[in-house]
Each structure stands twice: as C-alpha cells, then as structure tokens.
Chain A
C-alpha cells in the first residue's frame, strides 16, 4: 500500500511541476472551468436557499386553510359556517380570517390587508410592512389615506413598521383593525375570507381534510404540506430549467476540454516521448494525465464553489436572482441563510467533473500511446 501511495505522490509532484511549466495555457482552462462551476453552483445554491426560506416561512402557516368556493371561485365564508363545522376531533383551534388585496395606484402595487388574529391593532391605525413603508415613505406616526373600492377616502395613522427581519413574509403587508377592515372593503358583517385550522398531530391532517370536505362540499381544504410541496417543486423546477439551459455551456465546455487535451503542443509531445524513452509505460503516462485532469478539476471545483458561495450569500446573487426568485413591484429585500446541501455538491460534481473527465479520456489516451521515436524524430 505504501509503495502505491509513494508512486501516486511522485506522479502528483511531477504533474504539478509540468502544469506549472505551461502556466498560461492551464490557467486559461482553469478559469473557464471555474467559471462554469461558479455559474452552476450559484444557481443551485441560490435555489436551495430560497427553498429553505420558503419552508421556514410555511412552518408558521396553519395546517389547514378552508376556502369556500362558488362556481369554482373563491368566495366569502358566510355567517354560521364556522358553527356548522362544529367540533372536529383533532382540531385544536379554528378561526375565521379576514384579509384582502388592495391595489395602490400610487406605487402600482398590490398590498395585502390583514386583520391579525388577536385584532391587536387600534382603530384608525395601521402597521405596515417594510417594503411598503420604503415605497410610500412612511414611518411611525405618519398619516396615510387610501381610496377604498367604493370611492370613499380613508385616513389612517401608521402605528409601527414591521421589522426588516420579517421582510420576506411581510414586504407588502398592512395590518389593520377588524372594524376598519370591514368598513374599508365594505365587507359584509359576520363574513370571513377563509378559515384557518390548527391541527396538533401531523398524521391526522389528511383525515381532517377529508372530513371537512365531506361535511362542507362547497369548501376546499388547502393543506400546509401541499403548499410546502408546491414551493419545493416550483424552485426545483426553476433550478432544473436553469441547469437545462446551462447544459449547453457544459457541452461547450466538454468540447473545449476535448480540444485542449487533444491539441498537444510540440513541447508536451516531446515530454511524453522522453518519458516513454526513459522507461515510463503507457499506463503511467495515462495515470499522470489523469492526475493532471483530476488536479485541474479539483482546483476549479473549489474555486468555482467558493466563488458561488460568496456570490450568493455575500452579494445576494445579482446574476440569477431575477430568474430564480420571481419578481414583484414590492419585492422584499432579504438576506439568505447560507446552507450547503450534500446532494447538491454531489450533483454539481456530476455536472462538471464528470463531463470533463469523460471528454479528456480519449485525447489522454491518444497522447499516451505516441511512440517515443516518432515524436523525437519529428
């Protein structure tokens, strides 16, 4: 075993020295390679961080949301509906929620108006999300008026601005008192937007949903796990599309690697010729060349991955954010929590190192079988 290690170490030594002798050429390849890893890794890291962010946010969502449908469209929950459900075994809490959208022509954006569960907002005041406050230049105690859908003007005082830390969830949020909400949207008394149910035992969620849809055929239960799955698939899909588009660049890179590896300079040819003349076997030359490919791959992979990590988590991924996160007028500003996922690193490895090694095998062999005398005579 020891002899084997010594041999490999010597081969690595030799390979490194020979790589350094042709610095310009190899650095060019290394740069392109690292760039490819960087681009792919950025897309993957960013998508994964977004997926996690979505998962964290949805963890706080109610297990089941019940919406009423009329002709397949979302409709208000009429009075008495909550009582009709009565007590469902396994449901810890059930409450009607009040929320709606408001289009503000000033910033051309939609706000989400929401009555918090405890209705803890004083009448005539609002608590607004940070992105909204930024757009409309609001801060504590500023007054603001909105023209309601009935044409009437309503004035409010901003009681507070939600903290920046919650921005991903609260960018366009407006918290409002229940009475104000009903007056502003001319919401019929006793009606609710939908019903939120919290369920303690996750294994029971599906059964409860089935029970609810039997009891109230005009309603549709939406499960939290369904939302989580949808988000996960959505980001996976975006990431996959991105990678499928980038696969053209992987192919281009494989062609480049093939070209680079097969276009041996006269110098390199002479080197191989001399090595074989002094007793190296074809197998040794192949090993040396494989080490060369391996070392370049490893360096490029590390450089590209570290670069991508900085790009995504330090600088907010300016290159890929528009595609991967979607867009909105009031788009939240947020910092992503750095996460590295083993599956992603393994996948990325298959996407970059694997095509490279596959592409250089034939040229390596072609170089390795050259006859020493043929090389030296030319």
Chain B
C-alpha cells in the first residue's frame, strides 16, 4: 500500500520535517546553553546568524505539518474504496490500530505547531529576541512529537492490508457503541445543541473581549479548546444528522465526501483555524510582561483572538445554515 502517491507524499513530508528538526537540534542545545544577546563575541554573532536559518526551517516544518493534516484526512477518505467494509475515512483509519493514533497525533502536532508559530512570530518582532531559548527548547519538545507522527504514519501505512475487513462509520458512531464516540452519538439533540452553541458563544465572546480589551488571553486558549471539543461533539451528535438528512448517521468524516459536496471542509477549516489562533493567542500570554515584548504581544494576541472569534462565528453560522436548510426534523 506504500505505493500510493498521497502516502508517498505524506511520508516524504514527515521524513523531511523530522530530518530538518533533527538537524536543528544540536544548534538548539547550543542556543540554550550559550545564547547571550549582550555579548559581541564571534560565537554570539554566529549564533544570531544561524537563528535565521533554523527559524526559517522550523517555520517551514510547522507550515508543512498544517498542510499534512489536510492531506492525511483527504487521503484517508479517498482510500476508503479499497477496503472491504469502509465507506469513508473511518473505515480506512480502522484498518489497523495505528490509523486513529496517527490522525490524533497529526492533529496534536498541528495545534502545537500553531502555538510555536505564534511564539516565534512575536519573538522575531522584538529587537533582542527575548524568547530565543524558550523557542528552541519548545522545538526540542516538538521534535519527538513530529518523529512520533512519522513513526505512527509508517506503522499505519506499512500495515495497511487490503484483505482486512474493516468496520464502517455506522458502527463506530452509533448510539449503541460503547465508548466516547458512541456517547457523543447518543447525545440527544437538544442538550447537544445547547452545549454546542453555548460553548461556541463563550469562545466567541472571550476571544472578542480579548481582541477589544487585550485582557484574559489564557481564557481565549481555554475556551477555544473547549469549543473545539464541543464543536466536534456537536457535529457528531446533530449537525451530521441534518447534513445527511438521516436520523441515525452520525459520522463526522462522511461529510467530507464529494457525495455531500465536501460540506465538511466548510465546517472544519474555520473550526481548526479558529482553534489554532485561539491556542496561539494563549501561547504568547506567559511572555506579555517581558520588557521588549510589552508592546508587541498585545496587538498580536488581539489579532489572533479576532481571527479566532471570526472563525468560531463563521463555523457556528455555517453549521446553523446546514441545520436550517436541511429537510430533517429532529426537534419539533
């Protein structure tokens, strides 16, 4: 199965990312130990020059990870026709036990990368690079995460066997299934809707509040993450039902299929973008009292919060449009 073009591309992207971060790792150690902005020594000068290279490399890697998530899901959905029993990405990811861990790891790296990019962005705007050490330490933490993604993807793709009968989304996301997915599916529509819209409204309000007043930055990240979870639960519990116009089909992946006009991307792209921006706004908060960042962080995190607020609003509006336009009646 490894000779699928998209699989080769994904493995290539992951392998290059790991190689780049690994190449940057010795330099990161050097920075953490020897960085001294006040020194004018030859070594410091060299370090400063090298940070340009490794920051660019890191930005490149993180941007790649953001794109790779999209390609991974897209590919999983496309490959479903090759497995007996698979009807959408769920079946493909269920072919062996590595599929869902690989997806979740890729999503985790996506959000970590978003946080890292936000920190990097504010750091490069201060004249004395106050966060250089923290940034590179974080990069050292990200290296094993990206390597784990590569390893999980390798395990997953190498163990894809076409003769395995996999289970489709109908069995994973059904009211009778034991476990988290089943519980989400079994949520009755009215409480699910209340939870969905409340958490989105809170996330929107916190983000908008922060964008205006520049206060409560940590809350933006916290409410964004909560809204993300609630949004996914809401999609499983009721949005998908309205999209499929079917009272028992809860799958959050089938909405990505061309049969449903790729409507899922309209939901997921704003949701992921908003959550990433919310996390970014939170990630820069610990540094807002650093002397040289006092004037840099507030506008940046306010802008990130504004994007997050807009993203959640767009997501809620699109979900509402899908629900209103649907011919299914769940709530009288």
User: Which residue in chain B gives the minimum CB-CB distance to A370?
Assistant: B49
User: Footprint of B on A, CB under 8 Å?
Assistant: 1, 44, 225, 228-229, 232-233, 236-237, 239-241, 243-244, 247, 282-283, 286, 290, 342-344, 346-347, 350-351, 354-355, 357-358, 361-362, 364-365, 368-369
Report the bound CA distance from A362 to B56 in whole Å. 9
Task: Identify which of B16, B52, B83 contacts A354 (C-beta below 8 A).
Answer: B16
> Is the Cβ of A240 less than 8 Å from the Cβ of B162?
no
Contacts of B52 in A (CB 8 A): 282-283, 286, 365, 368-369
> Is the Cβ of A229 less than 8 Å from the Cβ of B81?
yes
User: B75 in the interface, Cβ–Cβ < 8 Å?
Assistant: yes
If A229-B84, A344-B5, A354-B64 are given as contacts, then 14 extra A-B residue pairs at C-beta distance below 8 Å, sorted by A number, are A225-B84, A233-B82, A237-B3, A239-B5, A240-B2, A240-B7, A243-B3, A243-B5, A283-B52, A346-B9, A350-B71, A354-B16, A357-B60, A361-B53
User: B20 in the interface, Cβ–Cβ < 8 Å?
Assistant: yes
Interface centre among A233, A244, A357, by most chain B C-beta atoms within 10 angstroms, is A233
User: B266 in the interface, Cβ–Cβ < 8 Å?
Assistant: no
User: B30 in the interface, Cβ–Cβ < 8 Å?
Assistant: no
User: Which residue in chain B gives the minimum CB-CB distance to A206?
Assistant: B84
User: B103 in the interface, Cβ–Cβ < 8 Å?
Assistant: no
User: Footprint of A on B, CB under 8 Å?
Assistant: 2-10, 12-13, 16, 20, 49, 52-53, 56-57, 60, 64, 67, 70-71, 74-75, 78, 81-84, 124, 162, 303
Task: Identify which of A344, A351, A361 contacts B56 (C-beta below 8 A).
Answer: A361
> Is the Cβ of A282 less than 8 Å from the Cβ of B49?
yes
User: Which residue in chain A gives the minimum CB-CB distance to B262?
Assistant: A342
User: Which residue in chain A gives the minimum CB-CB distance to B81?
Assistant: A232
Report the bound CA distance from A1 to B5 in whole Å. 38
Contacts of A355 in B (CB 8 A): 12, 16
User: Which residue in chain B gives the minimum CB-CB distance to A233?
Assistant: B82
User: Which residue in chain B gives the minimum CB-CB distance to A341?
Assistant: B78
Contacts of A358 in B (CB 8 A): 16, 20, 60
Task: Identify which of B8, B82, B303 contacts A247 (C-beta below 8 A).
Answer: B8
Contacts of A290 in B (CB 8 A): 56
Task: Identify which of B16, B67, B75, B84 contacts A343 (C-beta below 8 A).
Answer: B75
Task: Identify which of B6, B7, B49, B81 contacts A369 (C-beta below 8 A).
Answer: B49
Contacts of B10 in A (CB 8 A): 350
User: Which residue in chain A gives the minimum CB-CB distance to B16?
Assistant: A358
Report the bound CA distance from A282 to B56 in whole Å. 12
What's the minimum C-beta distance from A245 to chain B, rounded to whole angstroms?
Answer: 11
Report the bound CA distance from A57 to B70 in whole Å. 31
Contacts of B60 in A (CB 8 A): 357-358, 361
Contacts of A237 in B (CB 8 A): 3
Report the bound CA distance from A263 to B169 in whole Å. 54
> Is the Cβ of B74 less than 8 Å from the Cβ of A346?
yes
Given contacts A244-B3, A343-B78, A358-B60, contact A350 B12 (CB under 8 A): yes
User: Which residue in chain A gives the minimum CB-CB distance to B124?
Assistant: A283
Given contacts A361-B53, A361-B56, A365-B52, contact A236 B8 (CB under 8 A): no
